[in-house]
A and B are shown apart, each in its own frame.
Chain A
């Protein structure tokens, strides 16, 4: 357990330079965009001379590293700046969206693994059977299908044609916050986007799990297990599956990163008010403060995803724990 802590602390420390680099890059990209906080916010009749003074006073003419220090200090305290369009603090705007996106992400991950684990295990255990071919066939279709087209089709069929699911929003209008009805309505609204995204993103995991099981099946220690007199089901449950789930754990972090890309499209298509939807909206409206903040948070999520992956991996694989 001692090793475990050392590893976790060391792995967390590695995040510091990553975060620093991420914030600098995001900040510099924001700087490269035309205009600044005063553009379009001030009465155009204002004397340019006075505007210049304002800029000086607000620190907009400072060198980039001073501005960066200012911005990052604010960001660390939860102040991401003002949204030009919504005239409210970006952090406040993002918070609600982030909660929605978080739950969509969780639901998608659950669906991803609910599909991937049984399919991957079946496919790997009975490889080259008809069942395996059907599952592999599904994964190839999944790889080839763009998520934005698939989401549209799902919305059209299950939202509009069959009317089984709501077609937009994250909660039914008029439902009060709190209470079971609210929670159920929330779940109902994120179900279709999560299923659509999950059906596509899961194919990676199915393929990984399948090839991992086929690989583990042929390892020598499986023969040892059989030679001990272990039954086939025990060989699979205790030796093959456990050892094959390792890379799936490693994949978990990347799954999160992948989800971010997916949610951008899916949220937009399903009109689901999450971070991805907000991102596209603010890009279209040129709401740079919000865009910058969202990109920063997406980057943060990816880094945290990798951290989670490594910690899970170290928990399940003793070979990593030591180093």
Chain B
């Protein structure tokens, strides 16, 4: 078994709205192991990016409770200086929008050089340049010497994302958080970037947290998957288990909402209702309850918790046992997509 790199214990991240704190990430516990890709899936606003930012300590005005253990050390207790030594070195992040993630007034070379210099003050200028150029090359950029001298606006979106990736892998991080790395890119570039990430994963030996709402990306990249809904983890499983034998109503609804070529004639499944806003989140009972009103209220747990229904397969609340889609016969146990 691979070593535990990151252990998230009961993490709660709350934001202040009009003098009250509302938890966007509520009691999340997860582990990331060496050489493993953990995908965190969920729709927009479910708290997945808030979770990533909490891990990196990038929230400005949020209340963070719980522990984030990096190799046994609680980073939530770190001082600003300790956190700065960790960020960009042992833990780094790839951002969602490459068009805005780079400083428009700095040359690409300087932006990569900055992260190298910050964690190795003794690096000479010539070494820094050769390292930056080789990073660009590793991120799949043709003519890295040329790009080194360029400004972000001279590069395409895909190229810029490669630069963002080069910055993230510059100091060989042990934990790499990719926050929707392909969302802002068009489909062909998306698959190129995913290929790049897969390649890097092979030779980095890092733990990767991949945040996405794209189930296709999950299937291609992930080893384990955590499904998030309304700030909570509702299901965690091995990627094969999750796709082959999804349990939580939300996971099942998500999977059946994916259009596929075989069911081209049938109506696309749509989850009823909308994601509640941070302020209006139900804080008691099953948070998914209002989205599946046809399920008997008694099926839900009063205080839903994660149940280990099989080794390493966790599901929140008991409502999964009685769940069926409205157009399905009640009691039909043939879950999942074939």
Contact = CB atoms under 8 A, between A and B. Distances in A.
Given A220-B95, A220-B97, A228 B118 contact: yes
B167 A224 contact: yes
A232 to B, nearest CB: 7
Contact of B100 (A220, A238, A319, A322): A220
A239 interface: yes
Is the interface on chain A under 10, 10 to 19, 20 to 34, or 35 or more residues?
20 to 34
Interface string B64-101: 00000000000000001100111111001101010011
A79 to B, nearest CB: 46
A317 B105 CA distance: 6
A295 interface: no
A242 B81 CA distance: 23
B80 A319 contact: no
Contacts of A317: 105
Nearest to A239: B103
A33 interface: no
A232 B153 CA distance: 26
A243 B95 contact: no
A243 B84 contact: no
A224 B164 contact: yes
B88 A229 contact: yes
A226 B58 CA distance: 7
B119 interface: yes
B151 A220 contact: no
A249 to B, nearest CB: 12
Contact of A221 (B56, B104, B119): B104
A227 B87 contact: yes
Interface in A207-238: 219-221, 223-232, 234, 238
Contacts of B153: 318-319
A301 interface: no
Contacts of A75: none
Contacts of B101: 220-221, 223-224
A238 B167 CA distance: 17
B157 to A, nearest CB: 14
Given A220-B97, A228-B87, A319-B151, A243 B115 contact: no
B105 A227 contact: no
A300 interface: no
Contact of B105 (A223, A229, A234, A318): A318
Contacts of A322: 154
Contact of B81 (A227, A231, A234): A231
B81 A224 contact: no
Interface residues of B, number: 29
Interface string A248-268: 000000000000000000000
B114 interface: yes
B97 to A, nearest CB: 6
B103 A223 contact: no
B102 interface: yes
A232 B85 contact: no
A269 to B, nearest CB: 42
Given A231-B80, A318-B153, A224 B102 contact: yes
B84 A227 contact: no
Contacts of B100: 219-221
Given A224-B102, A239-B103, A243-B105, A229 B58 contact: no
B88 A227 contact: yes
B103 A221 contact: yes
A322 B103 CA distance: 17
Contacts of B115: 228-229
A227 B115 CA distance: 9
A230 B84 contact: yes
Nearest to B97: A220
A316 interface: yes
Contacts of A219: 100
Given A231-B84, A319-B151, A225 B103 contact: yes
19 contacts: A221-B100, A221-B101, A224-B101, A224-B103, A225-B103, A227-B92, A228-B115, A228-B118, A229-B89, A229-B119, A230-B114, A230-B118, A231-B80, A231-B81, A231-B84, A234-B118, A243-B104, A318-B151, A319-B153
Interface of B: 56, 58, 80-81, 84-89, 92-93, 95, 97, 100-105, 114-115, 118-119, 151, 153-154, 164, 167
Given A221-B100, A224-B164, A243-B105, 11 more contacts: A220-B95, A220-B101, A224-B167, A225-B114, A226-B87, A227-B87, A227-B88, A228-B114, A231-B84, A232-B80, A316-B105
